[in-house]
Amino acid sequence: MRKRITLAAAAVAVPLVTTCLIMAGPIRAVGPKLPTLSGAWPATQAEPTGKGKVPKHIDTYTPGMMPQEPLEIPADVMERLKTLPAEKIAFLKSGNGQVVVPSDVMFKRIRATSSTGQIEAYVDAIMSVYDAVQYKEGSNPSSIPFNTQSAKFNDWRLRRPAELDPKREPGPITLSRYVGGYGGGIPTFAGAPVALTPEDLKAGKVDIAIMGAPLDMGSGWRDARHGPNAMRVARIGTGGTDPFSMINPMAVLNVVDYGNAAIDQNSTERSVQEVRRMVREIAQTGAIPAIIGGDHSLEYPNVAAMADVYGKGNVGVIHFDSHLDTGRGRVHLLDHGQPIYRVMKEAHVRPQDYIQVGLKAHYGRTDYEWQRLIGMHYHTMAEVEKYGWDAVMERAVEEASKNTKYLYISFDVDVLDPAFEVGTGTPVSGGLTMREAIPIMRRLCAESNVVGFDIVELAPQLDPTYASALNANSILFACMTGIAMRRKGITQPGFLSPLTTDHGQTNYYGARKK
């Protein structure tokens, strides 16, 4: 009877406990003695990670990856717990209960409860929830089963043999029906011709191959899958001469639309392997892959493909985003909030070569402490507020080429303020304006050796206008402009054309001219 009553009381307590489970933040884990990271310089700098090496402290604070820190229970709370069975007290002291309820919440509840029976029921509920959320071998699947007997198991990603198509000479194919004008054919990225094979890229001496990767499953189906076609159809923002540099990138560079990568919308893991293969084959021809997403899970295969071609630890990454995207310890090993952890866990990029710009989502202290601990460089909108955008932009551009010869840029459109980018799945207020985003993209692509870039998380159906697609295309155009500038030898910091920065009829700016 006592057992039945205790379980009933525990059942009553579960709703409160599970609420606390949702609210519980990251738990500090046991590990080697860690350096103290203060808020101001000179803070203890992170230990540099060698090329091809996994960062030393990468799994510190990672749920499930480090032993739980034992919990020190205050004397007055222990006094109330003394009638509990030894195994229940041992559970609380282990610290595992903090996975369910933060320790301060648990102590407050125990102090406020006078009945020993209610206290035991509360502890039982915590233990019950902790046990229930653990993986159970035999009852929980450890992998997602496939029907390997399907006659079409690989048809979604199988390349068509050339023998099935009419014979043609390799090279880009123009899909426009007319000599000039706007449109009039099949929409492509930036109105560019199409290439279908690596042989087309080589024959056309292609500089930039833009490909779509319409993956949506990694973000929970927020419409990112329609991003590539929205940018193709809109096209606006990708043509003509850039007025800041007076460079027409399409006149300087050979640009093609390389089509979409095959995506299995029922499996992020299957999809990213095909994306990685396609990005790699572009880079192996010497062209720069520009990947249009799709959600930010894509940063993992994109960056991994860069490491496949240029070597592990040889590529730096600038990650524009409202979010850290360093999530870890989740059930799925990859989603749009976890690509950076997986990239570093597989040693494709060193933490000191990962630079984040525009962070402003509501993360806690331990998230930033972890990034400092392993040596990442991050630039938040709080830094922008304190020092101004120009100073932060200069710092980020300088860091971009500091340690590596090659640079990859990953641009999540939610780094932009929702006033400019309504069509994205996880908007956060207080972001970059287009007048801030365009110059830094142009500069990075002109002043650094960019070997690839992506634009992700455009969700066009969330925007009833064309503005979100326009702004995403404008980011694409800014990067292509920068690459064209570099190709023409224009790499001086912050270059702006004298023709468009002064009408020249007076000497109004005088000595201030640059």
Tens of pLDDT along the chain (514 residues)? 333 333 333 343 433 444 343 333 443 444 444 454 445 444 567 889 999 999 988 888 776 666 678 999 999 999 999 999 999 999 999 999 988 999 999 999 999 998 999 999 999 999 999 999 999 999 998 888 899 999 999 999 999 898 998 999 999 999 988 887 666 789 999 999 999 999 999 999 999 999 999 999 867 778 999 999 999 998 888 999 999 999 999 999 999 999 999 999 888 999 999 999 999 999 999 999 999 999 999 999 999 999 999 999 999 999 999 999 998 888 888 899 899 999 999 999 999 999 999 999 999 888 899 999 999 999 999 999 999 999 999 999 889 878 899 999 999 999 999 999 999 999 999 999 999 999 999 999 999 999 999 999 999 999 999 999 999 999 999 999 999 999 999 999 999 999 999 999 999 998 665 5
SS3 content of the chain, % helix, strand, coil (to 5): 45, 10, 45
Continuous segment of H or E residues that includes residue 488: none
Q: Which of 391, 158, 417, 135 is nearest to 274 (CA)?
A: 158
Contact 312, 347 (CB under 8 A): yes
Environment class of residue 216 by beta-carbon count within 10 Å: exposed (0-12), middle (13-18) or buried (19+)? buried
Contact 178, 185 (CB under 8 A): yes
Place of tokens 């933060």: 102
Q: Which of 349, 290, 281 is nearest to 309 (CA)?
A: 281
| DSSP conformation class of 74 | P
Separation between Cα atoms, residue 352 and residue 385, nearest integer Å: 24
- State yes or no: cis peptide before 166, omega within 30 of 0: no
Query: What are the φ/ψ torsions at residue 158 (nearest 5 degrees)?
Result: -80, 125
- State yes or no: cis peptide before 294, omega within 30 of 0: yes
Residue 153: both structure tokens together:
């198991």
What domains appear along the chain, each with residue ranges and CATH number? 2-27+68-133 (no CATH), 164-487 (3.40.800.10)
Contact 290, 454 (CB under 8 A): yes
Residue 4: both structure tokens together:
């039945």
Burial profile 92-121: b = 16 or more Cβ within 10 angstroms, e = fewer: beebbbbbbbbbebbbebbeeeeeeebbbb
What is the SS3 assignment for 454?
Answer: strand
Question: Chain-centre distance of CA 270, in angstroms?
Answer: 18
- State yes or no: cis peptide before 42, omega within 30 of 0: yes
End-to-end alpha-carbon separation of the chain, Å?
Answer: 87
